Amino acid sequence: MGVYSQTNIEITCRDNKTAKKVAKVIKDKAKKEEKDKEYGFNWQFSELEVGDEMVYLFKSSGRYQNLEYQCEELWNLIKDIDGVLELNAPFMSEADGMYFSKENDNK
């Protein structure tokens, strides 16, 4: 059983022209994968937006490891585009956590 995880990915670029190119590369890859049904990886990202020098995406997965892999594959796709500076993908994961209550305290 996996642990649900999600991330708001931020790709920092040198300028808006590069950001638009990055978004196009990601969208084109998603279209190609959908057309060819070559699903080693799901290239569908939700909430893809372009800012001034940034590209913003949302991605989630039912397994933390899958999300890590997907972010790595995204980086491999865009890292050689001139003007791409970094990709930041902080994860938020579902976990058991802890619960404390004075009613259940045995002190």
The model's confidence at residue 95, banded by pLDDT at 50, 70 and 90, is low
pLDDT tens figures, 38-50: 545 566 777 899 9
Q: Which residue has the tokens 């649900």?
A: 4
Q: For position 10, what pLDDT does the model report?
A: 94
Q: For position 88, what pLDDT does the model report?
A: 94
In whole angstroms, give the CA distance from residue 38 to residue 94.
Answer: 29
The model's confidence at residue 86, banded by pLDDT at 50, 70 and 90, is very high
More confident residue, 35 or 2: 2
- The H or E element containing residue 29 is helix 16-36
In CATH, the number for domain 5-94 is 3.30.70.100
Every domain of the chain and the residues it spans? 5-94
Neighbours of 27 (CB within 10 A): 13
Q: Vertex 16, ends 14 and 17: CA angle to 5°?
A: 95
